[in-house]
Chains A and B, each alone.
Chain A
Amino acid sequence: MTKPVVCDAGPLIHLDQLDSLDLLSDFTSVQIPEVVWAEILKHRPKALPQHFLLRPAPTVPVDPETLALCRGFSLDAGEAACLALLATQKDCVFLTDDAAARLVAEQLKIEVYGTLGLLIRAVRKGKRSSAQVIQTLESLPSRSTLFISPRLLADVIQKLKAEWGIPGNS
């Protein structure tokens, strides 16, 4: 049984850039705070309205502890709204590509992953072949605004090729 997720703008934008929004389809639910929804509509206006799986979640007030952490780590309104929503729910996963938001989520004991994890998970879930995911990862710098250092990305691709038995170096 998959868990419900709360999704920040980063993974939605990056998955859309990689034609991979469908990778969110097997989660129990995908909650997107209204402020994040508005951000996506601004940057990727064609992405969300066409995707039947995704709907905006109502805004939840941020509790004082979460608010203090969000301010301390300079999180934006979307990230804070995600964490506020997560604080009201148990056993819910946070999807974000922002390092500071991940740090805050960790402090709040929230399970958190990013676009990279979603792409690799697609193989385990049978949604993509390993070759497809390698190809997506290799094209990531040219197709997506997701930032990952070239060296780190090359290491990941090499590790995945070894894990999946795909010959060749990246």
Chain B
Amino acid sequence: MTTLKVELPDQLREQLRAFVAQGWFSSENDLVQEALRRFLEARAPELAARFVKEDVDWGLKGND
């Protein structure tokens, strides 16, 4: 495990705290890890490649 030190705007920090206080996550650490994991999953290189392929296919052979 690696520890990262990140600066957060106050409002974002408050939102983090509220989510944990409401019981959605057991700690701010878990919430940040989950948020980061989701962010990276949604921007994975293989996903970018799939979207590029869909664009190329539509551009070349779309029926619009």
A side interface size, CB within 8 A: 28
Kindly provide the distance from the CB of B44 to the nearest chain A CB, expressed in whole angstroms: 8
Contact of A72 among B38, B43, B48 (CB under 8 A): B38
Q: CB within 8 Å of B: which of A42-77?
A: 72-74
**Separation of A160 and B38 alpha carbons in the complex (Å):** 33
Contact of B43 among A3, A99, A121, A156 (CB under 8 A): A99
Residues of A within 8 A of B4 (CB): none
Residues 11-50 of chain B: 1 if any A CB is under 8 Å from the residue's CB, otherwise 0? 0000000000000000000000001001100110101110
Interface size class of B (residues with CB under 8 A): 20 to 34
Say whether, besides A72-B38, A74-B39, A156-B56, A3 and B51 are in contact (CB < 8 Å): no
Contact A159 B52 (CB under 8 A): no
Residues of A within 8 A of B47 (CB): 99, 103
Contact A120 B51 (CB under 8 A): no
Residues of B within 8 A of A103 (CB): 42, 47
Contact B45 A73 (CB under 8 A): no
Q: Is there a chain A Cβ closer than 8 Å to B64's Cβ?
A: yes
Residues of A within 8 A of B51 (CB): 99, 102, 114
Contact B56 A113 (CB under 8 A): no
Contact of B48 among A3, A124, A149 (CB under 8 A): A149
Contact A113 B58 (CB under 8 A): yes
Query: Which chain A residue has the least Cβ–Cβ distance from B62?
Result: A121
Instruction: Jot down 21 A-B pairs with beta carbons below 8 A, ordered by A.
Output: A72-B38, A93-B64, A99-B43, A99-B47, A99-B48, A103-B47, A113-B58, A114-B51, A114-B55, A116-B52, A116-B59, A117-B59, A119-B59, A120-B55, A121-B59, A123-B59, A149-B45, A152-B48, A152-B52, A160-B56, A160-B60
**15 new A-B contacts at CB < 8 Å, known A72-B38, A99-B48, A117-B55:** A93-B64, A100-B43, A113-B58, A113-B59, A114-B55, A116-B59, A120-B59, A121-B62, A124-B59, A124-B61, A149-B45, A149-B48, A152-B49, A152-B52, A156-B56
